[in-house]
């Protein structure tokens, strides 16, 4: 198993976001299995020619998303991301439903708003 990352400095997307998206995608697809040990922040920064703060920012975002977990001095590992992602999506959906009801939308109007937002993001 090898971590495969590529930073495109011409893409217009911040390098930390490219890292976050690539590691997250590989973890969710199974290309990086649960328990896979990630390189240190410094090591990955040197390997990719990035500032350590850039890699640290990506790792913090991934940890917040539940994709990775830091185990102190033992290192940073891929976590069971699908569980965390499903849990966070359910929480976000519940927050949306509560807000839609508070605004007085009926179920059909709330569903239409959610569907429109999903189309805008996923195409």
End-to-end alpha carbon distance in the chain: 32
Q: pLDDT by residue (tens digit) across 54-63?
A: 999 999 999 9
CA distance 105 to 100: 5
Contacts of residue 34, defined as CB under 8 A and 6 or more positions apart, other chains included, come to 78, 79, 80, 81
Q: What is the DSSP string of 13-57?
A: S-HHHHHHHHHHHHHHHTSS-TTPEEPPHHHHHHHHT--HHHHHH
pLDDT tens sequence across 22-77: 999 998 888 999 899 999 999 999 999 999 999 999 999 999 988 999 998 999 99
- 94 burial type by CB count under 10 A (0-12 exposed, 13-18 middle, 19+ buried): exposed
Q: 0.85 exceeded by the pTM?
A: no
């Amino acid at each position: 198993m090898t971590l495969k990352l590529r930073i495109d400095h011409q893409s217009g997307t911040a390098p930390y976001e490219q890292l976050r998206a690539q590691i997250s995608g590989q973890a969710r697809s199974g290309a990086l299995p649960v328990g896979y040990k990630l390189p240190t922040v410094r090591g990955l920064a040197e390997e990719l020619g990035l500032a350590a703060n850039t890699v640290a920012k990506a790792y913090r975002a991934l940890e917040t998303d539940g994709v990775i977990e830091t185990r102190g001095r033992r290192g940073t590992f891929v976590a069971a991301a699908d569980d965390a992602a499903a849990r966070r999506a359910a929480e976000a959906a519940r927050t949306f439903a509560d807000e839609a009801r508070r605004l007085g939308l009926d179920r059909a109007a709330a569903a239409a708003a959610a569907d429109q937002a999903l189309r805008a993001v996923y195409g």
